[in-house]
């Protein structure tokens, strides 16, 4: 038994009109963060101790570091002020024992959180870091697919929306 | 850009973004999808096929989307 390793990846930024910009050669770190679900931890009568009740997901922030900036990426990031931009991550999960590989795709859409102007050190690569607040997630892990779209009450797991009943009851 | 599975997925992302934008603007219903059709695409020929499904609120005849390329769709 061996867990899959993820070493090879790249990502593309799509501007507010859907035009893609690759970041090969300059991206160094990508922290996609996590979708945190807060819990109501009030004590209630009728239960011996706290029963944690899940609330709705909190905001999610993505942080990206690059060692350079391109004109296209600069344009794409700035376009995020007047519309949402997207980030598409493509990766490979490989199992070194069996030699098999699995494709991973993550699409995140949201608004730009910070626009980098760069950190400069003499004789070193300049560093740029930008953040994005996420309003939509589409993650494909091999054949397992998850879609989160809070605007449309979507929490899809392999094509089934677990919020379908809530959405229908609300009539949205 | 060379055609491959990743660029096909980028096409899907771009079209999905355009539909989300149209939905947020109230132009189409919130049940929409854009899907990259890998089996119908031909990477050697640089042909990428994607399927979009959406329905407008009113009987609009033309909707313009502006993803990677610009095109116009008639819903009739």
Phi-psi region of A89 (alpha: psi -120 to 50; beta: other; left: phi over 0): beta
| Domains in chain B: boundaries | 5-74
pLDDT in tens, A97-107: 888 899 999 99
Taking CB atoms and an 8 Å limit, are B17 and A109 in contact across chains? yes
> pTM for the complete prediction?
0.85
Cα of first residue to Cα of last residue in chain A, in angstroms, is: 45
A170 CB near a chain B CB, below 8 Å?
no
The pLDDT score that the predictor gives to residue B2 is 72
pLDDT at res. B75? 47
d(CA A15, CA B40): 27
Sequence-distant (≥ 6) Cβ neighbours of residue B4 within 8 angstroms = B43
Quickly count: other Cβ atoms within 10 Å of residue A154's Cβ: 19
Per-residue pLDDT at A118: 92
**A144, A148, A149, A150: CA torsion to nearest 10:** 160
Sign of the CA dihedral with A95 first, then A98, A101, and A106 last: negative
List, as own/partner pairs, every contact residues A166-172 make where C-beta atoms lie below 8 angstroms and the sequence separation is at least 24, other chains included. Answer: A172/B30
Q: What is the pLDDT of residues A72-85, one digit of tens each?
A: 999 999 999 888 99
pLDDT band with cut points at 50, 70 and 90 for residue B65: low
ipTM of the shown complex: 0.82
| B48/A contact by beta carbon, under 8 A | no
Longest distance between any two alpha carbons in chain A, whole Å: 66
Task: Pick B21's closest partner by Cβ from A83, A107, A172.
Answer: A83
């Amino acid at each position: 038994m061996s867990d899959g390793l993820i070493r090879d990846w790249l990502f593309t930024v799509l501007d507010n009109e859907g035009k893609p910009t690759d970041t090969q050669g300059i991206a160094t770190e990508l922290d996609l963060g996590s979708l945190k679900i807060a819990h109501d931890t009030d004590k209630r009568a009728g239960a011996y101790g706290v029963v944690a009740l899940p609330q709705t997901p909190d905001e999610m922030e993505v942080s990206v570091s690059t060692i350079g900036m391109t004109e296209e990426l600069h344009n794409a990031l700035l376009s995020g002020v007047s519309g949402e931009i997207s980030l598409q991550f493509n990766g490979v999960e490989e199992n070194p024992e069996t030699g098999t590989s699995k494709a991973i795709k993550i699409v995140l859409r949201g608004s730009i959180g910070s626009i980098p102007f760069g950190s400069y050190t003499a004789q070193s690569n300049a560093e740029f870091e930008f953040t994005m607040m996420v309003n939509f997630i589409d993650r494909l892990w091999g054949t397992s697919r998850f879609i989160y779209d809070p605007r449309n009450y979507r929490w899809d797991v392999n094509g089934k929306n677990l919020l379908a009943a809530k959405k229908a009851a609300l009539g949205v | 850009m060379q055609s491959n599975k990743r660029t096909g997925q980028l096409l899907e992302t771009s079209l999905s973004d355009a539909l989300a934008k149209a939905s947020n603007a109230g132009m189409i219903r919130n049940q929409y999808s854009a899907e990259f059709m890998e089996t119908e695409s031909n990477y050697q020929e640089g042909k990428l096929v994607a399927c979009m499904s959406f329905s407008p609120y009113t009987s609009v005849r033309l909707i313009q989307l502006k993803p990677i390329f610009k095109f116009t769709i008639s819903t009739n």
